[in-house]
Amino acid sequence: MTYEELIPVIRRLAIEAGNKIMEIYNSDEFEVKVKSDDSPVTAADEAADALISAGLRGAFPDVMLVTEEQSESHKARGDTFLIVDPLDGTKEFIHRRGDFTVNIALVEKGMPTRGVVYAPAKNRMFFTLADGSAVEETGAFDPAVMGETRPIRVAKSDNAALMVVASKSHRDQATEDYINKYAVKDSKSAGSSLKFCLVATGEADIYPRVGRTMEWDTAAGHAVLSGAGGKVVRFDDHSPLLYGKEDYANPFFIAHAPDVELKEA
């Protein structure tokens, strides 16, 4: 598998999955079930997962695949793999708030190197090109033909006036306490992996996450942010956030533009 082969496939699958998700999103009603970890799952999660998994396994049968909706895949071990969250932000989807994404990423030697984040209800799509740089595509999102893209780059941050983005569903007191360590110009809330992308485009400077996430929640956004010149580090010691952990659970982390002067936890 080369990057030149990978990028068109993950871009196409993200759009096709997004189309399937929007069919269900725009229907009169849909069933919401509860998984063993008490998190919600819908027909949209399951349909998108089936589509993406079949596409990736068909195109790259020799590459390890980890996907949120298939618990058997969580037992796979390696430092190089494809990782999928077919619908990140299920609560946003259920409440029809639009801040949900399709996430597909490649992790190599413990680091996300390529990925795509597609927010079908927001008409925004971000991905890395074969060379690793990050772009935002605009247009009709045709699965077969890549539309116009624009390079994206993190902001040149002013530490006296930072723009902060935080979770819409998980913004708690611990998060507020950490944000208050900075000189904040303004803050906004966003759902799902869109927060990484807002830092990648320069719309925000920093995204602290003081709460539970899994690697499939973050890998694609992490890859896009890295491709735009940003960083994702552990909250506790500011070392790089690594992937392929035994249970695929992340520690708390901070995603940021490199000019941000990070505060201690």
| Known binding positions for Mg(2+) | 68, 85, 87-88, 217
Q: Phi, psi at residue 181, to the nearest 5°?
A: -75, -15
Residue list, annotated binding site = 68, 85, 87-90, 217
Distance (Å, rounded) from C-alpha 153 to C-alpha 139? 20
Distance (Å, rounded) from C-alpha 183 to C-alpha 42? 40
Maximum separation of any 2 CA atoms in the chain, in Å: 50
Helix (H, G, I), strand (E, B) or coil at 91: helix
Distance (Å, rounded) from C-alpha 83 to C-alpha 46? 15
Amino acid at 128: T
Residue list, annotated binding site for substrate = 68, 87-90, 217
Cα separations (Å) of 103 from 92, 157, 181? 15, 27, 31
